[in-house]
Amino acid sequence: MNINDQTSMIYPELSLNIIAREQHNISRKQISDNALKVLYRLHGAGFQAFLVGGGVRDLLLGGQPKDFDIATNATPEQIKGLFRNCRLIGRRFRLAHIMFGRDIIEVATFRGHHQETTKNVSQKSDAGLLLRDNVYGTIDQDAERRDFSINAMYYSIDDYSIHDYAGGIEDLEDRLVRLIGDPETRYREDPVRMLRAVRFAVKLDFDIEEDTAEPIEELAPLLRDIPAARLYEESLKMLQSGYGLETYHLMREYNLFQQLFPRVAEFFTEDYESPAEQMLDLALDSTDQRHDEGKRINPAFMFAAILWYPVKALADHFMQSRKMTEYDAIMEAGNVVLDEQVRSTAIPRRHTATIREIWQLQLRLPRRSGKRAFRLMELNKFRAGFDFLEMRGEIEQGETKELAEWWATFQNAGRNMRQAMVADLDDGGAKSPRRRRRPKKSKPKS
């Protein structure tokens, strides 16, 4: 098979459909001023300039895009020469970031087919994974290289038309997520596309087109070859963007969640009723609610919840096999589970430290006698620890639920009421036993 045949098999020849300005609903008033500045400057310098991808898709759907990405035939170096507020990033594919304070407009050079270049700027693994991709081409080639039809539409700043290369308009109307090219080859080229297919389907309330969906379950293990840092970022997009609960269920259906959280997958059941699965539902539903209410979302809390019952099960094993105390067993099990997890999703150290604090608080919150309850409430991570305890109470019921209810009352009570609550614990025999001090060694007589 020659190079041209191989290229056409992976990237089929697309049919360009140009939608004139009067035939679509996108107006420049909907595009950010900073994105328009970049588009006009590139166009004024003689380069092609298009708003592309999710920005075009979301505007056509009547939404407000989170980001405005731009594609051009200018190279990264040429872009940098036009904008003093530009920095070049990326090794796998070189990108230009034009910075307007906190607003960043991402500009990408049209990508070409890596099979057709002799330059040492493209690299694939033996399994077909694209490792490096600084190959530049035409807008037609760039459209063929894009992942989904609904992301292969380009808004031209020249005449305000939309260039639809892969039937994206039709797929928007049919509410379909469809991969461009041969699905198995494109997934092998970049396995993260499987995650993106699920994320777009849930976010847009679309279906995944049949041929696009068919290979996912079998090819899901390819995600293990993706750098853990990239999968960490993808996990946040999947689970913390307001659709986490629904996304988790669809990921699980396609065997994708199991690749990112292999230790958690050991606790999956047919009826979704294990404590680990109940915690996943509670934690992700809570995260979705916080997102909808515009509240801050801490990734550490989500990961602490997802991993808690695997940690607890391993700790129980350590207490039996190694005769460890509960505290030592939880801490040791936490280290083991986190060390495994960061190999799949590279959770930053600042978050793993918080995760350990939340778990540690589960062991400290039952100890409320004397001044301990007052001191615990002063801890920086008390609220996260308490919120986590409430979720555990909802799942475990019994003493855990009673403890969570006690803390809920204690937080809202006045000073006198709090002292009375602690006194009741002490009178009821809940006072923690004092540690016996070792007798001091007598000094030898001189």
**Cα dihedral 419/423/424/425 (nearest 10):** 110
Phi and psi at 313, nearest 5°, equal -65, -40
What's the pTM value of the predicted model, to 2 decimals? 0.85
Known catalytic membership, residue 281: no
Cα 83 to chain centroid, rounded: 31
Residue 397 lies in a domain: yes
Residues 38-49, mean pLDDT to the nearest whole number: 97
**pLDDT band for position 12 (50/70/90)?**
low
CATH of the domain at 91: 3.30.460.10
Describe the strand order of the beta sheet including 95-100 as a list of residue ranges.
17-19, 162-164, 153-156, 49-52, 69-72, 103-109, 95-100, 86-89
Residue 381 lies in a domain: yes
Do 168 and 180 form a contact (C-beta atoms < 8 A)?
A: no
Do 131 and 124 form a contact (C-beta atoms < 8 A)?
A: yes
**pLDDT band for position 150 (50/70/90)?**
very high
**pLDDT band for position 426 (50/70/90)?**
confident
Range of the domain at 376: 293-427
14 has pLDDT over 70: yes
- How many structural domains comprise the chain? 2
90 has pLDDT over 90: no
pLDDT at 430: 45
pLDDT at 7: 45
d(CA 95, CA 75): 9
pLDDT in tens, 250-264: 999 999 999 999 999
- Which H or E element spans position 168? helix 168-174
Handedness of CA 17, 23, 29, 30 (dihedral sign): negative
> What is the DSSP pairing of strand 122-124 with strand 95-100?
unpaired
Tokens representing residue 139 in the block: 């807008």
Q: How many CB atoms lie within 10 A of CB 296?
A: 6
CATH of the domain at 311: 1.10.3090.10
Known catalytic membership, residue 67: yes
d(CA 89, CA 95): 5
179 has pLDDT over 50: yes
Which candidate in 69, 142, 171, 190 is catalytic? 69
299 has pLDDT over 90: yes
435 has pLDDT over 60: no
Within 13 Å, how many C-alpha atoms sit on residue 370's CB side?
A: 8
d(CA 222, CA 263): 17
Residue 248 lies in a domain: no
Residues 8-31, mean pLDDT to the nearest whole number: 84
| CA distances in angstroms from 260 to 54, 209, 243, listed in the order given | 25, 24, 17
**pLDDT band for position 117 (50/70/90)?**
very low
Which candidate in 147, 171, 190, 288 is catalytic? 147
- Could you tell me how many residues make up the chain? 446
Residue 384 lies in a domain: yes
Tokens representing residue 58 in the block: 């979301």
Closest by CA position to 156, among listed 139, 171, 170: 139
d(CA 427, CA 369): 10
Residue 237 lies in a domain: no
pLDDT at 122: 47
Which candidate in 67, 140, 316, 328 is catalytic? 67
Higher pLDDT, 302 or 119: 302
- Angle, alpha carbons 441-443-446 (nearest 5°): 160
438 has pLDDT over 70: no
Residue 3 lies in a domain: no
Residue 158 lies in a domain: yes
423 has pLDDT over 60: yes
**pLDDT band for position 130 (50/70/90)?**
very low
Residue 242 lies in a domain: no
pLDDT at 442: 56
Helix, strand, or coil (residue 51): strand
Residues 371-389, mean pLDDT to the nearest whole number: 95
